[in-house]
Structure 1
Amino acid sequence: MSSRVSFIQARRYAKVLNSNLINILKTMPKEKTHIPEAQKQRRKIKEKFSKYSPGRVTLQVLGTGAEGAPRSLYVFSDQSRYLFNCGEGTQRLAHEHKMKLAKLEHIFITRPTWANIGGLPGAALTIQDVGVPEITLHGPQGLEEIFIATRRFIVIKDLDIKMAQCDENTTFEDNVLKVKYVPLKRSGNSSPISEPKNSNLGQMQEDNIDYYAHEHSGRRKSPPKISESKLLQQKNKPTNFSMAYICQLQPRPGALLLDKCVSFGVPPGPLLGQLKSGHDVTLVNGKVVKASDVCEPDDPGPVFIVLECPSEEYLDSLIDCEEFKKHQETATKDEDLAHTVVHFTPQKIINHPRYKEWVDKFSPSTHHLILNDSNTCMGSSAVHRIQYKLNLLSDDIFPLLGDKGTQTIDDQVTEPPQPKKIKPDSPSLPIDQLSVKSRPASPTDPNIYTNTLFNYHLRPKKACDRSNELKLVPSQFIDETMAIENFPSVLHEVTQQMAQKRRHLTVRDFPRLLFLGTGSSIPNKTRNTSGMLLEIDENTSIVIDCGEGTVGQIIRFYGQDKANAELAKIRAVYISHLHADHHLGLIGVLQGRQRAMQKLEKGAQPLFLLAPKQIMWWLNFYDRCFEKISEEFVLVPNGELFFNNHELDQLLEKQLLEGLQMRDISTCLVKHCPNAFGVSFVHQNGYKITYSGDTMPSENLVQLGKTSDLLIHEATMEDELAAEAVIKMHSTTSQAIEIGRQMEAKYTLLTHFSQRYAKLPRFNENFSDNVGIAFDNMRVKLDELPLIPLLYPALKLMFVEYYEEMEQKAAKRQMKIEREKAQQFVT
């Protein structure tokens, strides 16, 4: 009996310990302690190399500007990194291609439009995380205000962001580059900002809510309260200017040729250093050795130009600019001739006769690199790699991606994709129809179209380098999967089971769900941040959450030929809450849909934006200070659709439900940040789909989603990390499954996985035949949901090494916890 009492007491004491542990975790600093040390090391390295001109400098294409892809040029040396433009999705490509952002300290923006700055907020978080202490923005005045506008949902606490003074009278210079700013101005008077027509914008008050208040600790500070009125005093948007950059590498002495030193009889020692510094020396025997005899010629530093001429209104400023003439054929010195011109200019302007005439004034040896939508490479091989693997399981649920813009190499396909074929009278002619004079003279590099990781080496030798350009090798992706022990037999068994199960299902074409992002916080190469496309029928769809890169995911899935039709079908966007990983892609979707409607010659039709009303401060700011977006949507506040208590204007609700073919759309507050909502959609045909957004287990959500056909629930953490889930106010996998059980949902799909589960989350005994896991680019019809659990054996084997590593980490973590508990118990 006494042993039984002791056991019960021990269990009670363990519960107390667990409770204390959770309290400790709640209050302990969550700061990333590596950042100050990384910043310290960065400063030391910078100081060490700041006196020397680098021996290696390369222009590298990161984002090509293809439809749905960012456009960004990376300039790297063996000391520093520079980025020219930072479109939406840059952060994800930089992660995949292992760009050394720890050395990035300067970002140059041609124009502050979403195509150029949409990736800045996300990239800043990554730059901060790798220990960069300070970053300087270069571009039109007002550019830095993007960080003021996003301060509520982009938390920059360890990174100082500065704005350079950029005008025709100032320059930037360090040990690598000298940069001349050349502002291009629109012809005529710039029109003042008018009051927005959308009444939602004009009436919205400032949003001073801190959406990360639950994570405060240590050095973490709340975002400052800044008056919107002061920010909106400027009369001209910064988009009335386009900043061009004339860049020249710092001169570098020629390298010392040791073999020639030996032949001249120069002994080892200080004389070599004098020769390397450019000084002639006298040997013991009286012989004079000239530095020019034993060194390569000095490199004065080549010139490259980066510019964007966005429309015909800027052509006068471009053509009349005297600064460019100094680097065209009229240059007085050979070293002043522009070696490379990087054009972010849209294709219709590149084809303009006046622009082509300006290009022709450069030397025939000048190379012209084009970063715009005339390119086709979207920049990622990782998304194709995992899709080829998953496609082995089901061609229906994991179809191969429609993006065909990257060179594919296998037994059948060896030719790179051809440039777009465009009729001569089209406003978008191929760039190779520029006159011969304006094209590179080198016969080895006549093609100025680029793919991601295209390099142009400016030093030590000037050369075009396509050896690292992105390529896809499907046979390799498939072979490495089929080579896994026992996988072929398990694959055969799984596909047979799925075929048998499918024969007993009646599968309707709609509704169906396309998962565009299934990861949390920041994107990685296999899981983008949150986003789904609920396809209601062949003409109507809803975007549900909208992380950075959502529009790119749609274009990548459907391919450029079909994507416009799919974008035009979007009738609504639902935003669950105002964390960046759930809404930073909204502007991209609005603009992408607008372009698609124009290309398809469809009349303007604003979509319904179901979101926390506080989102309007951000959209208002962007509309008035950067680009007009107010006409692209009609706000439907989530708080006016509360379950059993709708307060939305009756006419607007009628239009909303009829436009989306819904019988009911209702929301509820969930346990996450302020103004976080769950939602349920009830279709006219009777099916019900509920989405949690980000939340801890929520009784409100259970009531909202009762008897749903499908619950889509976040499952950020594995069960053993329940304490961390409490801190971050997320759910574990078992908690999400339990909510589905309480809700009596027919099926539960888990999503929003922590990026530590980049390929596969950990399974547990609570996974059953009505629980599925979501992957990026997984498209599943509502009637196909019973097939998803059949995939588990093959998925575990497909990612066996990754899964075993997760299990080992979990085991070590559990052993550590047990040791700490035992030690505390003994103490």
Structure 2
Amino acid sequence: PAWTVRALSVPGPDTELSLFVSFDDARFLFGAGEAMQRSLVQKRLSLRKLQAVFLPSGRSGRGGLAGGLMTLSDAGIKRLAIIGPPDTAQHLATLRASVVRDSQTVDLKPVSRELSSEVVFSSPRITVHAVTLRPPQAVEQGSANPQRPSELSEAELSRWTTAIVNDMFRGPGSDQTIKDEARFSFNGLYRPTSADDRYPLPLASDADVATDVCYIVRTPDVRGKFDVAKAKALGVPNGPIRGKLTRGESIEFEDPSVPGVKRIVHPEQCIGGGGPGSTLVVINCSVENLERLLLSTAFGEFRAVEGKPSVPVHSVVHAVPRAVWMDERYQAWVASFGPSTQHLYADPEGTREIYFRNSAWNALQLNMLDSSIFPIPDFAPGSPPPHMPANAQRLVPNHVVPMYPPKPVFLTEDHMKDTLFPADKTELAEARAALRRNHPEYAAAVDAAQAAMAADADRRACLSPRPGDDIVVTTLGTGSAIPSIFRNVSCTHVDIPGTGGVIFDTGEGSLGQLRRRFGDGLKQVYEDLRLIFISHMHADHHLGLAQILKDRFDNGVHSKLYLVAPYPIALQLEETAWWQQGVPREALENVVYLSTNRLKSGWVPDEREFSLSARPDWSSVPRHPEQLVTEEGMVADVAAGKRKWPFENVFRFHPATNARAAEHTRALLRDLRLSEIWTPNVTHRGAAWGMVLSGVDGWKVVYSGDTKPSEALVDAGRGATVLIHEATLGDDEAEDAEAKGHSTFGQAIEAGRRMGARYVILNHFSQRYPKIPKLPAPEPVEEGGEVHAPAGPTVAISFDFMSLRVADTWKMSHFTEPLNMLYAEAEE
């Protein structure tokens, strides 16, 4: 059967390599990095009939797996194989607090730590060999009577994490006996799928994190077509005997016309076409593992020592850094496949061209309204390609390789709405002029909006500035649940003069959005960043957190950063190795965690010194010291390399933990110049928190997270400078919003009115609800010859990449007509 390989995405600021392998009746995915789901939406590709996902390494290429699994389950895919490095089960198990599907079965196949090559997947369509490139590691022995997962051997830990994953995905055919056996095999471990800080998983070993996995994909030999005319000429009788020929068997039958009265017919005499199946090789290799790749014997049959290789390879995709690609030894290894093999290089330094084009075109049209509020995403052509052999080229999105029948790689056409975005300033100016020329009604509405805005600005010029007017809210992800072509999932950056930066929620793909919005200025954003807040455990609000922390370290920023989040977030980060690998201890210690539960009643300084408010009453919380991770145990785990961050116990209400939390909170108030921090419980499906920050300069920022109308949030947020509130659904869908634990547009605005918020910014819109509501536009009040600020809240709708100085929120009401034109068509 015919099959192709398509470059769904390549390495870039907001994407990683992902290869889409397609048969008529089956799909396979190689690489599941961040933004994988959004890439599929952008390219209009469906994962229906998806059978397996192949992960490239222990440090990258799997940031989109968790979100993808949940979306696939909701789309009706009930069973999926996942093949990857040795810590694949452990990686999924760290997400057990938020990634659970009762209707889905996951078949895990981590590659062996001992075998350098093995068959990891086989189906009627493909057979896949994995070639493991793993640094050596000393063999560790587990405890004879383990009380904690960190004391398990690698084999025991593999059983334990597999039990967790099987309990996370409980669909038909999932092996629940593994979970039950594991529960009773290890003394003291009773809750395999609970995100319980008493039983933290140990970190994956450095060797597991550094493991790369290459894949050899083969298809069965292709049967030829039975030639009836040739069979008749040879005297082959009708009936089942002809079926043997089609199955590749020789036949013998009586024929008086030949000597011996017996004729033997071989399949090739009456079967036309067909031939050997084709082979695809996917190379994932770091500089650290290059020597292991060059010495591997797994590729011997594909390499031509003298003449042609014994098994030709149609295409090789290389996911390697430039230091590997440009190494003379690697180039010689590439050449050894022979001149007929196509080589495609997924260059990690290849391009900063726009990938999510619909979103960028949308930003350009918004930019016509106000270039300061609606900047254009960062883009650049990237560096020139390195040296390429004659049979090699740089891989780009939409490259398609026909594997059978085998043909050269080609660039498939973009669909109508996936139009190439300008690549430089000249093309950008031409595109802007073309938009005005081709959409005269929109251009006229833009001009009218700008004229009205200018007139309004003259009236507002005499308003006295107020505390917090210069706060800038940048909405990086404004959609809900899953990403769309226009809106990524939740992430908001707030720049507060005198305090620094705050990030509210970090859904999958938030790092890419940060890179696109701030470009070369991202390092400065990291240096100014003081606080990250995660509102709740739904995946669309936190799956991008570790990527941001890792990128911040990679940019050389090691300063203090406070993380306020539910405790399963801290547990998940504790159990995840790759974001911590190679980071100095001092830098890791500067990531200071505080639980949302500790701040749900508010913290304020007293007159003498920052101290614990009387409101939280921790003394009444029952303690079970025998169940806590002891300080001694933590020290031992750190010394053994099974634990790094956090280097101190941050869980539960042990007196020593309480004292440290109080100390950190006092420091947070001092460092951010806050008069109060508050994380009130809000009403959503499961535990959820809002955030209230009050500055000593008189400003107040309130963030709702996901919530129905919440009295606790209103009470905590009274007198807010700006309220950033979810508005998932329209006012005509109030019942749906109630059932799903969300707010409507009107309910969000009413919350702002009741708390006396000066400005309200709406976000977290349903991806199926693109309408732009008419925004209330409170007018300045003239009294006694003086102009005063409006009494009610000034409201804005948010868009991805929007950066709004809150005192300019009034401008948004002038944009309603052009925005309605822009969003006349429903989002996909």
Give the TM bin, normalised by the shorter chain: 0.7 to 0.9
Q: Tell me if the contact between 1:769 and 1:786 (Cα under 8 Å) persists in the aligned partners.
A: no
Instruction: Give the residue type in structure 1 aligned to 2:405.
Output: P
TM-superposition CA deviations, 1:491-518 (whole Å, max 9, x none): 2211211223334556999421111111
2:449 maps to which residue? 494
2:803 maps to which residue? 779
Deviation, 1:790, is 1.1
Count of equivalent residues? 687
1:570 maps to which residue? 529
1:809 maps to which residue? none
Q: Tell me if the contact between 1:62 and 1:379 (Cα under 8 Å) persists in the aligned partners.
A: no
TM-superposition CA deviations, 1:292-312 (whole Å, max 9, x none): 688764331222221222232
- Aligned-partner Cα distance in 2 for 1:625–1:69: 18
TM-score (structure 2 length as normaliser): 0.74
2:291 maps to which residue? 316
TM-superposition CA deviations, 1:348-383 (whole Å, max 9, x none): 333344434433433233333233522224532121
- Residue 175 (structure 1) aligned with residue 124 (structure 2): yes
Deviation, 1:246, is 1.6
Relative to structure 2, which stretch is displaced further, 548-557 or 325-334? 325-334
Task: Describe how 1:295-694 pairs up with structure 2 within 5 A.
Answer: 297-312=273-288, 314-330=289-305, 334=309, 336-376=311-351, 377=353, 379-404=355-380, 417=381, 419-420=382-383, 430=385, 432-433=386-387, 439-441=389-391, 446=392, 448-468=393-413, 472-473=420-421, 486-504=441-459, 510-537=470-497, 540-559=500-519, 561-597=520-556, 604-623=558-577, 630-631=588-589, 633-642=591-600, 644-646=602-604, 647=612, 649=661, 651-694=663-706
Distance 1:519 1:557, change over 3 A: same
2:66 maps to which residue? 121
Instruction: Give the residue type in structure 2 aligned to 1:586.
Output: L
Deviation, 1:121, is 0.4
Instruction: Give the residue type in structure 1 aligned to 2:322.
Output: Q
Q: Tell me if the contact between 2:51 and 2:80 (Cα under 8 Å) persists in the aligned partners.
A: yes
Deviation, 1:551, is 0.6
TM-superposition CA deviations, 1:242-275 (whole Å, max 9, x none): 22212222211346799x99999999x9999999
Q: Given the alignment, which residue of 117, 128, 131 partners 2:76?
A: 131
- Residue 242 (structure 1) aligned with residue 212 (structure 2): yes
Q: Given the alignment, which residue of 799, 806, 811 partners 2:823?
A: 799
- Residue 717 (structure 1) aligned with residue 680 (structure 2): no
Instruction: Give the residue type in structure 2 aligned to 1:499.
Output: A
- Aligned-partner Cα distance in 2 for 1:716–1:735: 10
Distance 1:186 1:649, change over 3 A: closer
Deviation, 1:240, is 4.5
- Aligned-partner Cα distance in 2 for 1:471–1:154: 34
Q: Tell me if the contact between 1:90 and 1:123 (Cα under 8 Å) persists in the aligned partners.
A: yes
Q: Tell me if the contact between 2:213 and 2:285 (Cα under 8 Å) persists in the aligned partners.
A: no
- Aligned-partner Cα distance in 1 for 2:747–2:563: 30
- Residue 164 (structure 1) aligned with residue 188 (structure 2): no
- Residue 64 (structure 1) aligned with residue 27 (structure 2): no
3-state SS of 2:570 partner: helix
- Aligned-partner Cα distance in 2 for 1:562–1:765: 35
Q: Give the gaps of 5 or more residues in structure 1.
A: 1-54, 194-200, 207-220, 405-416, 422-429, 806-827
Instruction: Give the residue type in structure 1 aligned to 2:134.
Output: K
Q: Which has the higher helix share?
A: 1
TM-score (structure 1 length as normaliser): 0.74
- Aligned-partner Cα distance in 2 for 1:466–1:263: 44
Q: Tell me if the contact between 2:204 and 2:576 (Cα under 8 Å) persists in the aligned partners.
A: no
- Aligned-partner Cα distance in 1 for 2:141–2:516: 38
Instruction: Give the residue type in structure 1 aligned to 2:17.
Output: R
1:729 maps to which residue? 741
Distance 1:266 1:454, change over 3 A: farther
- Aligned-partner Cα distance in 2 for 1:236–1:489: 59
TM-superposition CA deviations, 1:144-189 (whole Å, max 9, x none): 2333222221231211001126344641322222212211121464
Q: Tell me if the contact between 2:772 and 2:819 (Cα under 8 Å) persists in the aligned partners.
A: no
- Aligned-partner Cα distance in 1 for 2:701–2:96: 33
- Aligned-partner Cα distance in 2 for 1:580–1:563: 24
1:749 maps to which residue? 761
Q: Tell me if the contact between 1:64 and 1:378 (Cα under 8 Å) persists in the aligned partners.
A: no
What is the identity percentage for the equivalent residue pairs of Structure 1 and Structure 2? 27
Deviation, 1:582, is 1.0
Q: CA RMSD in A?
A: 4.2
